[in-house]
Homo-oligomer: A and B are copies of this chain.
Amino acid sequence: MKLDTSKKILIVGLGLLGGSYARALTKKGYYVTAITRSQSSIDYALSEKIITKGAACVDPALVGEADLIVFALYPHVFIDWIRENQSLFKSGAIITDVTGVKGAIVDTIQNMLRPDVEFISAHPMAGREVYGVQNSNDAIFKGANYVVTPSEKNTPDAIELCRDLGEVLGFANVSQLAPAEHDQIIAFVSQLTHCIAMTLMTCQQTEHLEDYTGDSFRDLTRIARMNDEMWSELFFLNKDALLHQMTLFEGELNRLRCLLETNNIEGLRNMMRHSTSRRALFDKKL
């Protein structure tokens, strides 16, 4: 299947990310529909003309006509949805997702899915600390990374289609990782960073800290405003990888502590220089 504009794309879960997909794809001339729980999200999306049709229930017509279906749901909601509604898929449909963990999702979905429908998983690494289709904005994809996470069961065609989707959405960089590898990296770059941010916010009882803070602290805690329902689910679904990454981080922080305690100025400056040279690679390529 090629991702040309004859393809009908259904988005299930029209929040910040689903809504941003709808915006980007409609702009590019695709026929985009949506299913989501809230009628007001559908009404908003229709009034903004970012979808052509939508329903606040599982409308068999919308599911049955879709060539590509993007699931932007909480992991357990996604799994339940497939279990209950997969009979509605058109034969040959491709389904993909935006889930932030893969090990616990890819196998589960692929093992329960009808053989004439293929699930190719992907992780769009974009987001904001706001929620809902009303805040959706396809500019969040600009300069961002999109990772396709195929398993051995995926076909080259579906992988290609999913990569095309990342390109069409406007991501700066489309890459590929095995689910387990993805989960280790995500445990580090996303989940551990959220653990650190929330730890920084809760390890002090000091009042009025905001009057004495600079941009460093603001930067490190921007993500400390968390949707606890979503993040707790992601943490527990990727618990082993997260604990492993936490151990690596704690070990290195302890090395830094020892450099300080032993007055090892040269060692400390070396670590700072190493940090500086590695960080230079990470600036967003806009």
The interface of chain A, by Cβ under 8 A from chain B, is: 125-127, 144-145, 147, 173, 175, 177, 182, 185-186, 188-190, 192-204, 206, 209-226, 228-229, 231-232, 235-236, 239, 242-243, 246, 248-253, 256-257, 260-261, 263, 265, 268-269, 271-276, 278-284
Nearest CB in chain B: distance from A223 CB, A: 5
Residues in chain B near residue A243, CB distance under 8 A: 257, 260-261
CA distance A269 to B198 in the complex (A): 11
Copies in the complex: 2
Residues in chain B near residue A185, CB distance under 8 A: 206, 209, 212
The answer to whether B282 touches A218 (Cβ under 8 A) is yes
Residues in chain B near residue A147, CB distance under 8 A: 212
Q: Closest residue to A242 on the B side, CB-wise?
A: B260
The answer to whether A224 touches B173 (Cβ under 8 A) is no
**A interface SS class:** helix
- Given A145-B212, A260-B239, A265-B236, are A204 and B221 neighbors across the interface (CB < 8 Å)? no
Residues in chain B near residue A173, CB distance under 8 A: 211
The answer to whether A248 touches B203 (Cβ under 8 A) is yes
7 shortest A-B CB distances, which residue pairs? A203-B252, A228-B272, A125-B214, A198-B275, A189-B217, A201-B275, A224-B279
